[in-house]
A and B are shown apart, each in its own frame.
Chain A
């Protein structure tokens, strides 16, 4: 295989992994604060529809991406109001959010089905982007991919190196204890939910603006659920989320090539391969390190109502 072919394959893997990385990192932050938002799929698909609509109307990919973020945040704000503000059941609210998001995106996107846009522009630096072997892979991606990488580094840094990240993790671990120290449990949780929504919306916008630059109903095709699973199997660690997403992207590309070359296995089985591979790898990873304490944020999914 030539160097350029390898580079092309790796670039497609990265492209397939990016929406998962972005959505899963957002959900990771939400869950680290102790809130389980099962509405990722709904927020993502709304981000895709509204992001695409805004980009078509304005002619700007950036406006589309911002609209996608806004859509995700708006939905997550509703979720936050219910679960953080009113202590409603998180599982039921999250599932409802997904259904709402799927319906809402169909409504908003109805007028845009079949429209095509240019995909988001790729970076092009003189000399660097034309370097053989790595130029396009490293210096020739679209803005979403770089945003995903920046997000992964930023989330890691925030969670483990800043006071805010420490407070967020503490609140996800024990909301009673942190409340009695005077930390704002509900405030931090609401912000974390908003961040998760923004990321899910951005991930959705990536799908309709860059990955496949058109809108089709339910085009997220379960990626929101994969992102949720990634967070769990990555034991709430950003680096593992990135690794898991790349593995998933790799398996996706691999099965596409396998189907194209007709190796005789049923296509459905091959389509299931990325999901199986990702789950298997992450399960093996989490098996290796049993110890005391809990890997999951201990207060995950439990609601909190302070006395005053």
Chain B
């Protein structure tokens, strides 16, 4: 797509300050029609702020936005939509208890009848292969279907620029493929797309130009197809991302965890039942459990951590029957757990880091005396976790919720690893975490295993599992496939198992 005389949209000298913090520092960005433009950067680099400015949600402190060379003022998302800017949000901006059609009607023009809207939704669905059931309530839909609503809602405005924020972070590989086809088609129709992601292989596949942000500044622009994932990551981080040292091979340590025909009925509507899961992990090894979200990961984690209790013999920790034990009792057996959700599950966002240390470590570390919290000890432990894992924070002991995603994740993983657990169970260790923090966390898991611990990693990120795990098993529909040594399997084979061993129509993600 040859660009016309000038860029479709331009942002020049954009500065956005929140108090003393500068989120965007004189950013220049030009977006042309008919191109997919990548915006790359670590968490906290200022990507989200810039997008919100382009969508009219935030007002820049300085700088101008232009449309076909003329300065425009984006006072509100409505103004942005009128100029032809549409947005697909990462954490969908959908109301769960409204129907699909109602969510779409929220941004449509006044006086559009329900029947007309349903017709337009259906017509658009036929054009792009994005089919929706207008009367379904959003809470009953999967992440992929929710994103389809966002995209359809955006396309119904006939946008000239579509902003996509981490669009594949919640999708299965099959769903992502469908999305890419749609995006390529939109580009070929002459629309401009601004694509925010930190999955570098996607950016290299889709985007012809990339602007790289670091700490609120533009640090580079390139053609991502001409770069390697490593060179892109280096530009984002400002240094070479450390290659994770080789994962340990087959382990010879004592058996740390054994699951024996672990079954669990589905705890809720829309939850997955666990079926006859049998597994053994030895000290010194990392076992990866792959699978698409919603195939029993949350339920398995709950059964492992003791949030859900099961028959005593179904879970053995260091040989001890532990299925009937609660979380603290399992921790006393030398196990440690890092759940998927940082905010609200692994950490209480409103409490300070030292309080969060007490929450998970009070059973195993000398943090209380006569039932009273030893504040100094908790603060010291929080400080040592922060130092060991390079947790960047404002102030010595801030509330957990004020940390960026990557830093909070380093903190909650570090909190458990510093306890030197004999068994660590971690769910999605690097979800939504920037490349540098992810590398650090993965290295820490590998080092922990090298010191003789058993590590069980539940992840939807195949690249991660192939990087660190010695053996990989796949969770599908609540059943676990037999673990296979990494050297003896491939992404394609694991991807097939994730889709139900070819029984499902979903295509495996050929990375």
**A contact residues vs B (CB 8 Å cutoff):** 163, 166-167, 169-170, 173-174, 176-183, 291-294, 297-298, 307-308
Some 11 contacts from A to B, beta carbons below 8 A apart, are A170-B102, A173-B95, A173-B96, A173-B97, A174-B93, A174-B94, A177-B93, A181-B106, A182-B78, A182-B80, A308-B58
Distance in Å: Cβ of B291 to nearest Cβ of chain A: 22
Docked pose: A169 CA to B103 CA in angstroms: 11
Closest to A170 in B: B95
The reply to whether A177 and B105 form a contact with Cβ atoms under 8 Å apart is: no
Distance in Å: Cβ of A306 to nearest Cβ of chain B: 9
**Could you say which of B76, B92, B95 contacts A182, with CB atoms under 8 Å apart?**
B76
The reply to whether A181 and B77 form a contact with Cβ atoms under 8 Å apart is: yes
Determine the chain B residues whose CB is within 8 A of the CB of A293 once the complex forms: 96-97, 137, 139-140
Determine the chain B residues whose CB is within 8 A of the CB of A179 once the complex forms: 57
The reply to whether A178 and B95 form a contact with Cβ atoms under 8 Å apart is: yes
The reply to whether B97 and A181 form a contact with Cβ atoms under 8 Å apart is: no
The reply to whether A181 and B102 form a contact with Cβ atoms under 8 Å apart is: no
The reply to whether A177 and B57 form a contact with Cβ atoms under 8 Å apart is: no
Known interface pairs A180-B57, A180-B89; A170-B110 also in contact (CB < 8 Å): no
Docked pose: A307 CA to B21 CA in angstroms: 14
**Could you say which of A174, A292, A308 contacts B95, with CB atoms under 8 Å apart?**
A174
Closest to A183 in B: B106
Closest to A294 in B: B97
Closest to A307 in B: B58
Determine the chain A residues whose CB is within 8 A of the CB of B107 once the complex forms: 181-182
Known interface pairs A182-B57, A293-B137; A167-B106 also in contact (CB < 8 Å): yes
The reply to whether A166 and B96 form a contact with Cβ atoms under 8 Å apart is: no
The reply to whether A163 and B105 form a contact with Cβ atoms under 8 Å apart is: yes
The reply to whether B95 and A177 form a contact with Cβ atoms under 8 Å apart is: yes
Distance in Å: Cβ of A79 to nearest Cβ of chain B: 25
| Interface flag for B59 (CB, 8 Å) | yes
Determine the chain A residues whose CB is within 8 A of the CB of B369 once the complex forms: none
Most buried by B among A166, A291, A297: A166
| Interface flag for B98 (CB, 8 Å) | yes
Determine the chain A residues whose CB is within 8 A of the CB of B102 once the complex forms: 166, 169-170
The reply to whether B93 and A176 form a contact with Cβ atoms under 8 Å apart is: yes
Docked pose: A308 CA to B106 CA in angstroms: 21
Docked pose: A297 CA to B96 CA in angstroms: 10
Known interface pairs A177-B93, A292-B139, A293-B139; A182-B56 also in contact (CB < 8 Å): yes
- Tally of chain B residues near chain A (CB < 8 A): 29
The reply to whether B140 and A292 form a contact with Cβ atoms under 8 Å apart is: yes
Docked pose: A146 CA to B95 CA in angstroms: 35
Docked pose: A13 CA to B405 CA in angstroms: 58
The reply to whether B94 and A166 form a contact with Cβ atoms under 8 Å apart is: no
Interface set, chain B 76-128, CB cutoff 8 A to A: 76-78, 80-81, 89, 92-98, 102-103, 105-107, 110
Determine the chain A residues whose CB is within 8 A of the CB of B77 once the complex forms: 180-182
The reply to whether A170 and B98 form a contact with Cβ atoms under 8 Å apart is: yes
| Interface flag for B487 (CB, 8 Å) | no
Interface set, chain B 242-275, CB cutoff 8 A to A: 269-270
Determine the chain A residues whose CB is within 8 A of the CB of B139 once the complex forms: 292-294
The reply to whether B94 and A177 form a contact with Cβ atoms under 8 Å apart is: yes
**Could you say which of A170, A176, A307 contacts B106, with CB atoms under 8 Å apart?**
A170
Distance in Å: Cβ of A179 to nearest Cβ of chain B: 8
Determine the chain A residues whose CB is within 8 A of the CB of B95 once the complex forms: 169-170, 173-174, 177-178, 298
Determine the chain A residues whose CB is within 8 A of the CB of B56 once the complex forms: 182
5 further contact pairs, Cβ within 8 A, besides A180-B57, A182-B57, A183-B106? A173-B96, A174-B93, A291-B269, A293-B137, A294-B139
Closest to A167 in B: B106
The 0/1 profile, CB within 8 Å of A marked 1, for residues 383-425 of chain B is 0000000000000000000000000000000000000000000
Distance in Å: Cβ of B114 to nearest Cβ of chain A: 9
Determine the chain A residues whose CB is within 8 A of the CB of B89 once the complex forms: 180
The reply to whether A178 and B58 form a contact with Cβ atoms under 8 Å apart is: no
Docked pose: A177 CA to B269 CA in angstroms: 25
The reply to whether A292 and B270 form a contact with Cβ atoms under 8 Å apart is: yes
Docked pose: A308 CA to B75 CA in angstroms: 10
Docked pose: A167 CA to B269 CA in angstroms: 29
Closest to B77 in A: A182
The 0/1 profile, CB within 8 Å of A marked 1, for residues 118-148 of chain B is 0000000000000000000101100000000
Closest to A293 in B: B139
The 0/1 profile, CB within 8 Å of A marked 1, for residues 480-511 of chain B is 00000000000000000000000000000000
The reply to whether A173 and B93 form a contact with Cβ atoms under 8 Å apart is: no
Determine the chain B residues whose CB is within 8 A of the CB of A169 once the complex forms: 95, 98, 102
Docked pose: A179 CA to B78 CA in angstroms: 11
Docked pose: A291 CA to B137 CA in angstroms: 12
Docked pose: A180 CA to B56 CA in angstroms: 9
Determine the chain B residues whose CB is within 8 A of the CB of A297 once the complex forms: 97
Closest to B92 in A: A177
The reply to whether B93 and A166 form a contact with Cβ atoms under 8 Å apart is: no
Docked pose: A298 CA to B137 CA in angstroms: 14
Determine the chain B residues whose CB is within 8 A of the CB of A174 once the complex forms: 93-96
Distance in Å: Cβ of B150 to nearest Cβ of chain A: 10
**Could you say which of A167, A182, A183, A298 contacts B97, with CB atoms under 8 Å apart?**
A298
Distance in Å: Cβ of A194 to nearest Cβ of chain B: 22
Name the 7 nearest CB pairs between A and B, nearest first: A182-B77, A177-B93, A173-B95, A293-B139, A180-B93, A174-B95, A170-B95
Docked pose: A297 CA to B98 CA in angstroms: 10
The reply to whether A181 and B105 form a contact with Cβ atoms under 8 Å apart is: no
Known interface pairs A292-B140, A293-B137; A166-B105 also in contact (CB < 8 Å): yes
Determine the chain B residues whose CB is within 8 A of the CB of A182 once the complex forms: 56-57, 76-78, 80-81, 107
Most buried by A among B89, B95, B102, B137: B95
Determine the chain B residues whose CB is within 8 A of the CB of A183 once the complex forms: 106
The reply to whether A298 and B96 form a contact with Cβ atoms under 8 Å apart is: yes
Determine the chain B residues whose CB is within 8 A of the CB of A294 once the complex forms: 96-97, 139
Distance in Å: Cβ of A164 to nearest Cβ of chain B: 10
The reply to whether A163 and B110 form a contact with Cβ atoms under 8 Å apart is: yes
Distance in Å: Cβ of A9 to nearest Cβ of chain B: 39
